[in-house]
Structure 1
Amino acid sequence: MSTLAYDGTALMGRQLRRIRNSPGLLILTQTTPITMLLFFGYVFGSAVAMPGEEYRTFLVPGLLAATAAGGIMTGMFQAAQDTHRGVTDRLRTLPVSRAAVPLGQAMADLVVTLVGLVPFLLVGVAVGWRFEGSAPDAVAALGLFLLFRFACTWVGILLGLASRSEEAAGQLGSATIVLPLLSSAYIPTENLAGWLRTVAEWNPISAVTTALRDLSGNAPVPADAAWPMAHPVAGSLAWSAALIAIAAPQAVRRYTRGQG
C-alpha cells in the first residue's frame, strides 16, 4: 500500500472517530434530507404543478444531489474547526503525506454519507419514489452521487482551511444551502425566467440532479436545456472532475503552508 493510501486510511479512521464522538451533529446531518423530503414533498408539493406522489418522485433525486452538494458545508466546518483549534498544526508535525489529512477527511465524509443514504432512500420508497432503472444504472447513479459529494467536500476543505475563523466558516457554510435553490433540485427549470434558467441549468447540482433522475427512470432529460443538463452524466462527470482538479491541489497546498 502506498504511503498516501496508508496515511489517508489511518487519518480517515481518526476522522470517523471524531464524527462518532459528535452524535448531535451526526444525527442532524443524517436526518436533514429526510426532513426536507417530508416537508417539501407534502407542504410545497401542493404548490407545484405535479400530483403529490409524482412530485415526491421528482424530488428524491434532487435532494440526493443537494445532499452531495452539502459536502461543501461539512467539509468547510470540519476543516475550519481543526485549523482554528490547533489540530491541523499538530497533524502537520506528523511524518505523514501532506495530502493524507484532507484526503482522510474527504474519505470519512464519503463513508458517513453512504451510511446516511440508506434511511433516506427507505423514506423515499415509503413516500412513493421508485428506482425504475437497471442494476448498472443504479451503480452509475451511486457512483455519480459519491463522486460529486467527494468533489464538493474538497471544495469545503479548501474554504475551511482558508477561513479566518470557525464562525466565518459556519456562516459561509450555512449560505451554501442557497445553491440547490438555484438549480433543478426542487423545481423544473423550464418555466424560469431566461437569465435565471441559464444560471440554474449551469449549476453543477442541476446536472447531477438530472443524471440521477434519468438513471433512475424518474424523469426524461430536457431536450432544450443547457449542455450540462442535456448531457447530464457527462456534465456531472465534467463538473466533478473540474472541482476536484481545482480544489484538491489547492487544499493540499493550503494545508502544507498553514494559516497566514
Structure 2
Amino acid sequence: MSTAERGGPAPVTLRAHGPLGQSVRDSLVVARRNLIRMLRIPEVVIFGLIQPIMFVVLFSYVFGGSISVGGSTDPAAYREFLMAGIFAQTVTFATAGAGAGIADDMHKGLIDRFRSLPMARGAVLTGRTLADLVQTALTLVVLAVVAVIVGWRTHAGIPKAVAGFALLLLLGYAFSWIGALIGLTVRTPEAATSGGLIWLFPLTFISNAFVPSDNMPTVLRHIAEWNPFSATVQAARQLFGNLPAHYPVPGAWPMQHPVWASLIWSVLIIVGFRTLAVRKYRSAAA
C-alpha cells in the first residue's frame, strides 16, 4: 500500500518549493562543500592573510610619514586614511582565489560531475562565491584586529562601522563573480590566478585607496574618482569616520555620494557578471 493510500503525507521532492527554493538549497550545499575544503587546507587561508598584513605594516610605517593627507603628514592620520583602502584591496584580491578555485574544479572534472546532477545551473557558481564571501569576512576580522593594534580606530559609531564592512563585503562578493567568469574562461588554475590579478593592480592603485586622488594627473584623477573601488573606499572612510578634517572631497558624484555609488556599482557588477558567468557555465555544459 502506498503512502497516499494509507493517508500519510506525500513524499516531499527536491522541487517541492519551486525552482527558487531548489536553487537556494543547491547553492548552500555547494557553499558548504567549499567551506569544508577550505578548512581542510588551512594554509590557503593563512597565506591569504599574510599579504594584507604586510601591506598594513609597510604602508603604515614605511610610507606613513611621507604622504600628506588633508595637509597633514602625521603617520597616525595616514594609518586611519589607509585602512579602508587596505580592507577594500583585500576583499577584491580574493577574486583571484575564486577564479583559481573554479578553474581547478573545471580542470579536475568536478564541474562536469555537478552538471550531471539534477541541480540548478547557477548553484555551483553561487555556492562557490558564497564560500569565498565567508572566507573574505574571516580575513577582514583578522585584518581589523591587526589594524587596531597598529593604531586604527573608527569614530562614527558601531552601526556605521558595521555598514562600512558590509559595503566592503558586498564589493568583494561582486568582484568574486568577475573571478568566476575568468575561472570558467581560462584552461588552468595558474592562468586564472594571473588573469584575476593582472587587472586588479591598476584598478586598486589608480584609486584613492593609498593616496588622495587630487594629486594625480587630470586623466588619472577622473578615472580614480569614477572607479567603483574608489567609491567603496570613500564610503568606508566616511562610515568609519576616517576622513581627515581638511580632506578635500572631489567634486565627482561618486565621491560626493560614496555610499550610494558603492551600492550601485556593486549591484551592477553582480547582476552583469553573474549573468555572464552563468551563461558561460551553461554554454560549456551544452
| Shorter-chain TM band | over 0.9
Instruction: Quote the offset at 1:155 in angstroms.
Output: 1.0
Per-residue CA distance 1:89-117 (angstroms, 9 max, x = gap):
11111111111111111111111111112
1:58 offset after TM fit, Å?
A: 0.8
Deviation at 1:167, TM superposition (A): 2.6
The question of whether the paired residues in 2 share the 8 Å contact of 1:76 and 1:159 is answered with: yes
Match of 2:214, SS state, is coil
Listed as ranges, the matches of 1:39-188 within 5 Å are 39-49=58-68, 50-175=73-198, 176-188=200-212
In the alignment, the residues of structure 2 paired with residue 85 and residue 172 of structure 1 have an alpha-carbon distance, to the nearest angstrom, of: 19
One-letter amino acid of the counterpart of residue 52, structure 2: P
Matched-pair contact (CA < 8 Å) for 2:96–2:194 = no
Q: 1:223 to 1:118 in 2, by over 3 A?
A: closer
CA distance in structure 2 between the partners assigned to 1:26 and 1:131 by the alignment: 26
Tell me the amino acid that sits aligned with residue 104 of structure 1. Answer: G
Shift of residue 199 of structure 1?
A: 1.2
Partner of 2:5: none
- Say which of 192, 216, 236 aligns to 2:262: 236
- 1:32-79 deviations in whole A, cap 9, x for unaligned? 211110011111223212211111111111111111212321221111
Paired residues in the alignment total: 260
Contact 1:77 1:170 in 2 (8 A): yes
RMSD, aligned α-carbons: 1.7
Measure, in 1, the Cα distance between the counterparts of 2:38 and 2:204: 25
Once residues 60 and 187 of structure 1 are traced to their aligned partners in structure 2, the CA distance between those partners, rounded to angstroms, is 12
Counterparts of 1:94 and 1:30 in 2: how far apart (Å)? 35
Q: What is the alpha-carbon distance in structure 1 between the residues aligned to residue 145 and residue 206 of structure 2?
A: 27
Question: Sequence identity of aligned pairs in percent?
Answer: 39
TM-score, reference length from structure 1: 0.94
2:265 is matched by which residue type in structure 1? W
Contact map agreement 1:71 1:150 (CA 8 A) in 2: no
Give the unaligned 5+ runs of structure 1.
none
Q: Which has the higher mean CA deviation after the structures are superposed, 250-259 or 231-240?
A: 250-259
AA in 2 matched with 1:238: I
- Amino acid across the alignment from 1:99: G
**Aligned match for 1:210, one of 222, 230, 234:** 234
Structure 2: 5+ residue stretches without partners: 1-16
